């Protein structure tokens, strides 16, 4: 009887640890934005003269959630090259509206933008894509941005 109790206590403890670890991983993966706002992300990009990788997304969007999971393993490498910022179109409506107003976004999510600095020290759109992509499709699209002629 005592061995059974020890077994169940051990199993319960192990399951609780696995659950806790899973929650912590999920929470840390969800913490994509290192800057507290879109404006601060742009300011950081300006200070560091780094391009930005911007993902327009929404909490209710299943393809957005899947794309975030696909891109998550790439974030450390992407952060070496870019200021990465995810815009939740519902929580940051003015930002989303500014993309619409500039005719840069048609409202589809997920949409990814990669910016670059031009000679006037302004960020311009280097690449844009909409819809879900696997990790390998994202890498192929991203690498294609830098294989274009005259860039």
CATH number of the domain encompassing residue 107: 3.40.30.10
How does residue 127 score in pLDDT terms, banded at 50, 70 and 90? confident
Contacts of 35 (CB under 8 A, 6+ apart): 41, 44, 83, 85
Q: Rounded distance, CA 57 to CA 134, Å?
A: 16
Does residue 151 belong to any structural domain of this protein? Answer: no
Task: Specify the DSSP element, H or E, that contains 113.
Answer: strand 111-117
Question: pLDDT (tens digit, 9 = 90+) per residue, 39-92?
Answer: 899 888 888 888 999 999 999 999 999 999 999 999 999 999 999 999 999 999
Between 14 and 89, residue with greater pLDDT: 89
Q: How far, in Å, CA of 47 to CA of 40, rounded?
A: 10
Boundaries of domain holding 8: 1-31
Q: Which residues of 95-127 are buried (b: 16+ CB within 10 A; e: fewer)?
A: bbeebeeeeebeeebbbbbbbbbeeeeebeebb
Q: What is the mean pLDDT of residues 9-35?
A: 48
CA angle 6–12–16, rounded 5-degree value:
145
- Name the one residue in this structure whose structure tokens are 């005259």: 150
* Entry field: residues in the chain: 151
Q: Is residue 150 part of a domain?
A: no
113 and 49 in one domain?
yes
Q: What is the pTM of this model?
A: 0.70
pLDDT greater at residue 3 or residue 31: 3
Residue 19 has pLDDT above 50, yes or no: no
């Amino acid at each position: 009887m005592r061995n059974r109790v020890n077994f169940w206590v051990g199993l319960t403890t192990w399951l609780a640890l696995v659950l806790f670890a899973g929650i912590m991983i999920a929470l840390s993966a969800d913490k994509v934005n290192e800057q507290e706002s879109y404006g601060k992300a742009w300011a950081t990009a300006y200070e560091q003269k780094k391009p930005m990788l911007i993902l327009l997304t929404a909490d209710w969007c299943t393809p957005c959630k899947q794309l975030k999971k696909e891109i998550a393993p790439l974030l450390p490498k992407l952060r070496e090259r870019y200021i990465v910022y995810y815009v939740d179109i519902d929580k940051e409506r003015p930002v989303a509206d500014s993309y619409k107003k500039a005719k840069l976004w048609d409202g589809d999510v997920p949409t990814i933008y990669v910016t670059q600095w031009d000679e006037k020290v302004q960020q311009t759109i280097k690449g844009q894509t909409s819809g879900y992509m696997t990790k390998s499709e994202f890498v192929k699209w991203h690498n294609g941005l830098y294989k274009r002629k005259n860039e």
